[in-house]
Structure formats: structure tokens, C-alpha cells
Structure 1
Amino acid sequence: MLRVLVVDDQDLFRGGFSMILNAQPDLTVVGEASDGAEAVRVALEVRPDVVLMDVRMPNVDGVEATAQICRHTTAKVLVLTMFDLDEYVYDALRAGASGFLLKDIRRDELVNAVRVVAAGESLLAPTVTRRLIADLVQRGQPVPRLTAKLAHLTDRELATLRLVAQGLSNAEIATELTVSEHTVKTHVSNLLTKLDLRDRVQAVVFAYESGLVIAGA
């Protein structure tokens, strides 16, 4: 049973999401919160597998709450937003979120998203991926301490990381490297462990900040 914490300052959204998730046989809402501070407190108490996190909230916003929850728990955070170009989304992804959802998402998409993120995958729309990469590129030179970590990866893991950073799925990477999809999953799992990363979103950030992948190259 996957345990979910729903965070939103609007009762209608919070209640609606909880109702949809609780109707699933493998999902249960173990808590709700109306702002970031409450979200962190409840997350530390109930230890959810997944947190649906609104970003625009009074007091402590979703970005800071995401950073604290990712720092102190193993929960996966899915950011909730009204707009796919919300600047807060990028900050939340850098804080450790595993992806984002628009608030007008369909029921089946919401349920699937929770399951996907709980399984260790990430959810990023192409518009967000492009904006996130553009933001990383503007930072300039690679971070030396991150570049040094690349030495821990095998050639296959480096190749896999490059393709992950380009937004390819496991199936597409398998075709590109002429290996099985299971082998790709193993490479992704190994590189995340070696680099101490939570998921593919952080892997994309790492690939650009370490200089492994250069935009336009």
C-alpha cells in the first residue's frame, strides 16, 4: 500500500485529490496539510511514500517544504501547479522534487503519476525540461566537486547518464546502446546510487552541472 500526503492551501483541491487517491486499492492518504510548515511536520510524523505538493502557499511555500522533506525523509515529491511554466516549479525540482503535475490533471493521470514516482521514476513535461536545462546552462562553468564524481561511473553508466540528460526513456536508451531495457534500468539504478541522487530529475541536473553534458554540443 502506497502512503500519500496531500498538501494544498485550497480545501477543494486537497479534498478532491484525497478522494481520488483513497478510491484506489493500492493507495491511501495518510495525511493532509494546508501549508509548507504543516507539510514538513506531518511528513516527519507519518513518513509517506509520495507527497503531492502545491508550490504557491502562504507562510512556508512548497519549494522550501520540498527541500526539507527531501532532506529528512525518503518521500518522493510531486509538485502541483496551475501553470506548466510556473517559475516555482524549477526551484522545487532543484530542491529535490521528482516531477510536477498540473492541477487540471485527469484522475487516471494523477493515480498513475503517484505510482510512477513511488517506483523511482520521474515526471517532467518537455516544456519544463527545456526551461530547467536552460536555467542550468546559464549558471556557467561546471562544478568541480561534481565533475570529480564522474570518475566513479563506468563507461556504460556515463553513456546512460548522457542519454538520461537528453530526456530519453529507458526503452529509447536501450535502443541507442543496443542493450536490453532491464540492463538500462540496472545502469540507471547504479549511477543514481554512486552519485547519491534520488531520481532521474536530479540526474539531469547533475549531468549539466558536472559538465558531462553541454547544451548545444
Structure 2
Amino acid sequence: MSSRLLLVADDPLSASALRRALRAASAFEVLDGYVDGAASCAATMIAHAPHVVVVDQMRSRDDTIARIAEVHSVLPATKIVLLQDHMEPAWLTAAATAGADAAIAKTFRLDGIGALVREVAAGNVFHAFQAAQAMPRPTAGSLLSELTDRELEILRRVAAGAPNSRIAAQLWITEQTVKFHLSNVYRKLGVSNRTEASHFAYVHGLLDTPTGVAA
């Protein structure tokens, strides 16, 4: 049975376009209509019990955070994905604290957003939000443990010299999804590009021999 997905938004036109894109991803039963993010949504969430909730960026940041927190409160097992224009760290931390599982930049092509939401729903993406100043310097092992199985698999293939197009074909995902996972890998490992990520993988035993990979 496909996962039920419900949209939370305050713009009917944006909600309609997103609903079409998510239905095209074919992995979800996208429920009709959308939840108006300007008002409480607890009763609707309980009635429909969606497996995934996509919260579209709203005009009011307070409303956006309130809806994320409300969904997380009444349906703690439901995956919550935020679609957002601006990816400022402080704002994303606030969304994660409220209960968001992941944030996707709205600069992604609309027809690729469904694939990214599918990765979040499948548990292939997670974010750990911690106060860096309160934590000891992370070890290589702890950094690698932050990676999901899919992210680790993509890191190994990148380090072996595979381009995004080949990785996408091998894993039956889109190139945009590969880029999405790589951006998470770079952030979690504290590296900036493919060369640094490949070097990290080799130094820490993920490959037998080093490979030269262009940034």
C-alpha cells in the first residue's frame, strides 16, 4: 500500500502544482486538497493519519513553525518535509526543533521534489541538529555514523570515480536525488566537494585505493 501524503500550505496555486508533482512521483497516495497552514490542523491530521506531511513555505514563518510542531505533536511517527526558499541555518534549526525531518530547497525542479520526498519517507535522509559549541570535536567514526546507508553508498561510488549520472542509473534514482544526498554528505563530513569527500572516504578505509575525482 502506498504512503498517504498530505500538503500543508497557504497558497492554493502552489499547493495545486505541488500536488501534481507529488502524484507524478507515484510513490504516494496524495490526498485531495490541502490543509490551510494559517489555522490549526490537528483535527485534520488525526482524521487522515498521513504517513508523510509536506509543509510548503508560508508567508508567516510563525505559522510554518506552528504547523510543523502541531503535526509532530499529534503524529510523532509521521515524516515531515519542509519546502523552503531560503535555507538559513538558524531557520532550519528552528524547523528541525519543531519536528521537521528534512528541508528541501524550492530551487529544485518541481518534477524532482517528489523523488526527494520519497527518499525522506524511506528513511534515507536524516538530520542531526546539535549545539556545536556544547559538543566535543567529532571523530571520523562519529561523522560516518551520521550518514544514512544511502548516503554512505553514494559516497563510496563517488570516491570510486563514478559520475552522478552513473550513480543515478545504478541506484535507480534521479541525478537530482544523487545531488541532494551528496549535499548532505558534504555537510555531515564537513567537506566542500567531491575531491575532499573522496579523500575522506579513502583515508578512513571506505576504499582500497585512492582515486582522482574532479571537483
Return the TM-score normalized by structure 2.
0.57
- Partner Cα distance (1:26, 1:165) in 2: 26
1:164 to 145, 148, 155: 145
Distance 1:119 1:70 in 2: 18
Match of 2:132 among 137, 157, 162: 137
Task: Determine the C-alpha separation between the residues in 1 that align with 2:21 and 2:61.
Answer: 27
Any idea what SS the aligned residue of 1:14 has?
A: helix
Percent identity of paired positions between Structure 1 and Structure 2 = 23
SS at match of 2:34: strand
Q: How many residues align?
A: 153
Q: What letter is aligned with 1:3? A: R
Name the CA distance, whole Å, in 1 between partners of 2:38 and 2:89.
18
CA positional deviation for 1:115: 1.1
RMSD over aligned Cα, in angstroms?
3.5
- CA 71–83 in structure 1, closer or farther in 2 if over 3 Å, else same: same
Tell me by how many angstroms 1:91 deviates: 0.6
Do the aligned partners of residues 37 and 88 (structure 1) sit closer, same or farther apart at CA in structure 2, a change above 3 Å counting? farther
SS in 2 for 1:28: strand
Structure whose alpha-carbon radius of gyration is higher: 2
CA contact (8 A) 2:6 2:34 kept: yes
Structure with more helix by fraction: 1
3-state SS of paired residue (1:48): coil
Tell me if 1:85 matches 2:88: yes
1:122-177 deviation line (CA, Å, top 9, x unaligned): 266xxxx8xx55xx124x378xxxxxxxxxxxxxxx986542347893337889xx
Q: What's the offset of the Cα at 1:42?
A: 2.0
| TM-score, length basis structure 1 | 0.57
1:183 aligned partner: none
**Deviation at 1:60?**
5.7
Match of 2:172 in 1: none
Structure 2, gaps ≥5 residues long: 158-183, 189-215
